[in-house]
Amino acid sequence: MKLLIGLGNPGVEYAETRHNIGFITIDRLAQDLKADWKIWGPAKNCDMAQISVGGEKFVLLKPLTYMNLSGQAAVAAAHFFKILPEDICAIHDDLDLPFGDVRLKIGGGSGGNNGLKSLSQCLATPEYARIRMGIGRPPHAAVDPADYVLGRFGTADWTMVDDMIQRAHRAVAAFAAGAEAFSREMNSLNRKKKD
């Protein structure tokens, strides 16, 4: 069994923001596989669904703790389902990648993403897989990055977002197939931008 965590903030005011691309991506995966979300956890602090990808069972998780405390819900689910860090994958926004890029990574720092920081602290390790969804930097230096990530995707952005989600779903399928398949997909996605 594997744990797939979409990072984001709960509430309609955050629904289509750049910072919520983790929620958007995991919601689409659940919708495509006809999974039902339910409130879960001792503290009722996350939405949870279960799916199967390539014969591998997944717990899908959307922490309802807001981004900065995402790790609390994630570690509770990991302990309950007895899922080790190497079987955990987080989907998150990444300011350091151009909008439209999708990259894969195992381990590393938070890159300033407080959801990843919380996840690494609560799991007591940064050694889990990440699907990095590029949202780019603000177009002007005068725009605060905090305001930028909480801004909504524009109408013209959704074609690119849809394409990113499809690539993220292929990455989830590779994660389901095991470390070797994920590594191949990581090399493929990470190399495409350089070509």
Question: DSSP letter at 113?
Answer: -
pTM assigned to the model: 0.95
**Which residue type sits at 50?**
Q
What residues are labeled active site? 19
Q: Tell me the C-alpha distance between 155 and 175, whole Å.
A: 31
What is the pLDDT confidence band of residue 41, given thresholds at 50, 70 and 90? confident
What is the pLDDT confidence band of residue 116, given thresholds at 50, 70 and 90? very high
The residue segments making up the domain with residue 138 are: 2-192
Alpha carbon 115 to its chain centroid, in Å, reads 10
Q: Residues for the chain: how many in total?
A: 195
**pLDDT over 70 at 193, yes or no:** no
Q: Average the pLDDT over 28-32 and give the result.
A: 96
Can you read off the two tokens belonging to residue 142? 């005068």
Residue 24 CB partners (closer than 8 Å, separation 6+): 6, 8, 16, 161, 165
Q: Which parts of 16-152 fold into alpha helices (H)? A: 21-32, 70-80, 114-123, 145-149
Q: Average the pLDDT over 173-183 and give the result.
A: 95
What is the pLDDT confidence band of residue 190, given thresholds at 50, 70 and 90? confident
Q: What is the CATH number of the domain that holds 33?
A: 3.40.50.1470
Query: For the chain, what is the domain count?
Result: 1
Q: Tell me the C-alpha distance between 195 and 16, whole Å.
A: 31
CA-based nearest residue to 133, from 59, 4, 30, 24: 24
The pLDDT of residue 194:
54
The pLDDT of residue 169:
97
Q: Tell me the C-alpha distance between 183 and 178, whole Å.
A: 9
- Contact call for residues 78 and 123 (beta carbons, < 8 A): yes
Over residues 119-149, the pLDDT tens digits come to 999 999 999 999 999 999 998 989 999 999 9
Question: For the chain, what is the largest distance between any 2 Cα atoms, rounded to a whole number of angstroms?
Answer: 48
**pLDDT over 60 at 54, yes or no:** yes
